[in-house]
Structure 1
């Protein structure tokens, strides 16, 4: 498997008309330096960094607290995440992120149950409750 060697290469892959290039942008790894360069130099592409399947924990930790809800939403769909990140996202101020997290199959059942009982949003409570019931009845 290839690696992405620079922020500019990552941007070329994302911007390409070739579906294979765009797939590479989402599946190939890069060094921490490359990821941090993309985030620093090209913040409008952070969501694409967040969607990359190989992005390391240090980058996920940074993006999990990003001010842009689109970035946090992209992180909320990833799994597995550390329990600390699941807990942080379960308390996110943005209802859509908490709702998305309820559908994350990696979310521990204990957090999903807590969201179903005590989330401030009825919408999130309903989503979490439905997913909790579904996941506990699948076993």
Structure 2
């Protein structure tokens, strides 16, 4: 199924019916609909980012949202390109960087940036992941 309007997305997201709530997280919508949701219902931005089908172009807009919860949701997305990961690796909010370092698809280049993070927890996770990746590639 396809989400046909910003109002439909809002209704699905706020629905008590589990199947409608599920649709808000899994159904596709044209890029213009996602843009309309963000204009009309900015408080739903985190749920736009949560949607499994949301295009990278929308995630790029959400990566600069004022709300760190929205940026953190973007940082968790496995489909974001490395360029967006590198941008989020320098985010001012440590919760965003923490979400990114725990992204299963985080790249070596991003981990190398996060290895020098101001927060020790992020530095340690990044270093551990880099060590695991290098020991895998060397066949140890």
TM-score, shorter chain, exceeding 0.5 = yes
Alignment gaps of 5+ in structure 1 = none
Question: Partners in 1 of 2:81 and 2:15 — Cα distance?
Answer: 33
Count of paired positions: 137
Could you list the per-position Cα deviations for residues 49-84 of structure 1 after superposition, in whole angstroms to 9, with x for gaps in the alignment?
010011112211100111110100000000121121
| Partner residue, 1:126 | 124
Could you list the per-position Cα deviations for residues 77-130 of structure 1 after superposition, in whole angstroms to 9, with x for gaps in the alignment?
0012112101001111111111110111111122213312x1122121122223
| Partner residue, 2:80 | 81
Contact 2:89-2:113 within 8 A present in 1 as well: no
| Partner residue, 2:104 | 105
* TM-score (norm: length of structure 1): 0.91
Question: Partners in 2 of 1:119 and 1:46 — Cα distance?
Answer: 27
Contact 1:103-1:131 within 8 A present in 2 as well: no
Alignment gaps of 5+ in structure 2 = none
